[in-house]
Structure 1
Amino acid sequence: MSFAKYQDLEMGREALYPGQTMEDQIVRWGFIRKVYGILSTQMILTTLVASVIVFSDSVRDFFTSSPSLLLLIGLVPLVLMCPLYCYHQSHPINLVLLGLFTVGVSLTVGISCAFTPGIIVLEALVLTATVVLGLTAYTYYAVKQGKDFEFLGPALFVSLLVLVVFGFVQIFFPLGSIGSAIYGGVGALIFSLYIVYDTDNLIKTYSVDEYIWASVALYLDIINLFLTIMQVLRSTDN
């Protein structure tokens, strides 16, 4: 196969962003496909695990029977983040840690869905898919036009930190339905912008060896967007 035909197969006829070399286009498209392949597997696993919890009464009762077990499930993904970051370029331990991390997050998603009416879960799922596809398409288009979203990084980090701290405050001083809806709406906005930011990093910043961490970043963006949208819908329904 000639190099020109190989180039067409790998990337089409246009660069991802202005000034990108031909060799980098080929490598970068391969990297992007690998990341989205891993991300798709994570989303399928999350759907399966969450479905088992939602539709199986015995499984749901097991996970919700003890507050300490719920706390442990919530802490597992946070604990696994550290070794996952340290070994995200070490094969095959990175895949093992990624699988455990995804299962841990999936359990949290499943428990959240189990306490939410089915119609709200479906609405949140449709809205999340629409937002993710729309923002992803926009980011690819904008980057091709020369836009840069790296400036969002510091502001998003501070916003996320405030969101997390305020979330802990809610444990001791619960908000009403309106306050919870506002909190969820702000969270949904932050994670929507994170999708743009992390997609921009996927296109231009991540090295080709960071496919695990790139998929983790996008996975967390999508999951948190889904949970915050569901919180808004649940609060307004109440």
Structure 2
Amino acid sequence: MISVPPPKPTLINVLHHQSYNQHQLLFFNNPRYPVQIPSYTLTSTVSPSTFKMSANTKYSPAPQRDSMDHTGSYSQAPPAYIDEPTSSTDQAALLGGPRSSEDNVPDDFKYGGVVSEATIDIRMAFVRKVYSILTAQLVATAALSSLSFWSSSYKDWIQGHSWMMFVSLFGAIGFMLLTYWKRKSYPTNLLFLSGFTALEAYSVSVIVSFYDSKIVLEAVLLTAGLFVALTLFACQTKYDFTSWMPYLFGSLWALILFGFMAAFFPHNSMIELAYSGIAALIFSAYILVDTQLIMRHYHVEEEIAAAISLYLDIINLFLAILRILNQQNN
């Protein structure tokens, strides 16, 4: 007789630990355990002589034939299987060409994805779109702002209607929110973007109309130089500036609250200079962050949202530099 040893208890699942122990106790307390396995004896009823071959058995080799000797037995060659283009299957489909207009669209645009996961062609196309939109926004803003220096009637009108400044301010915020909401809906996103850019350009033209044209030109050149330098640095460095986002967000709100409170106190040139310097540092850092977001984290269809982010960084950096130069000039 063979006695099977009791199996070692094993924990199958942590969530069923108690249930497992209960079943294990029932199993071990069973009077039929351990199981008695009867022994078996193998007996053979086949005679050894059954497997012996007769010595008088003769074998003749089977006839062999070569398949190459009977090629002439086929009356004709096998048919050629070549698909001919029909009404439902055109020549482009047989040659592996695109079957529809969507086949020409890369898979990253079909299924979506961030810029860092896209191919190099899609990544470069996205960057070109972002900076093309940004260039158009900056050109429109520069054209409307320069009008305040070339047209005295326009300058007198915008300075005499101060209420339009608040309309443009809140209108730009509204159009910006609409643009972010419809940032993937073409051409609705472009319409909202145009409204946002026009109102923002009007606000900038009102501000620069109170400054000397020489100071404005110096601020433009300094802003352009800083933007190019920061963009190249953000693209070349391996450091991830996107980790600065929470700190920059908190610093920006602290700057806004400080500016709001300073409006209720008498003007102080040193406080304004410090305020403008801190603002220039914050928005310079935002250019680094937003540039890396464009290269790595934005969706491939969010070029308008990326352009707006850079546009706001450049405009706020320009205004901060403009105030610094004006304080130094005074």
Higher relative helix content = 1
Matches of 2:307 and 2:245, distance apart in 1: 17
2:230 match: 135
Map 1:54-203 → 2, pairs under 5 A: 54-142=149-237, 146-203=238-295
Instruction: Check conservation: 1:178, 1:236, Cα contact below 8 A.
Output: no
How far the C-alpha of 1:187 sits from its partner, in A, is 0.2
Instruction: Check conservation: 1:177, 1:236, Cα contact below 8 A.
Output: no
Instruction: Report the secondary structure of 2:120's partner residue.
Output: helix
Unaligned stretches of 5+ residues in structure 2: 1-114
% identical equivalent positions: 37
Instruction: Check conservation: 1:76, 1:101, Cα contact below 8 A.
Output: yes
- For 1:125-177, what per-residue CA distance to the aligned partner results, in whole angstroms no more than 9, with x for missing partners? 111011000000111111xxx32111111011111111112222232224411
Structure 2 CA distance for partners of 1:154 and 1:23, relative to 1, 3 Å: closer
Matches of 1:150 and 1:70, distance apart in 2: 33
Is 2:323 the counterpart of 1:231?
Answer: yes
2:134 match: 39
| Aligned positions, number | 216
Given residue 273 of structure 2, which amino acid in structure 1 is its aligned partner? Answer: A
- For 1:58-105, what per-residue CA distance to the aligned partner results, in whole angstroms no more than 9, with x for missing partners? 111111113322222222212222212111111111101111111111
Q: What TM-score does the superposition give when structure 1 sets the normalisation length?
A: 0.86
Instruction: Report the secondary structure of 1:150's partner residue.
Output: helix
Q: What TM-score does the superposition give when structure 2 sets the normalisation length?
A: 0.63
Given residue 209 of structure 1, which amino acid in structure 2 is its aligned partner? Answer: E
After TM superposition, the structure 1 stretch with the greater mean CA deviation from structure 2, 20-29 or 128-137, is: 20-29
Greater length-normalized contact order (CA 8 Å, ≥ 6 residues apart): 1
Instruction: Check conservation: 2:149, 2:213, Cα contact below 8 A.
Output: no
Matches of 1:200 and 1:192, distance apart in 2: 13
Instruction: Report the secondary structure of 2:298's partner residue.
Output: coil
RMSD of aligned C-alpha atoms?
Answer: 1.6
Unaligned stretches of 5+ residues in structure 1: 1-19
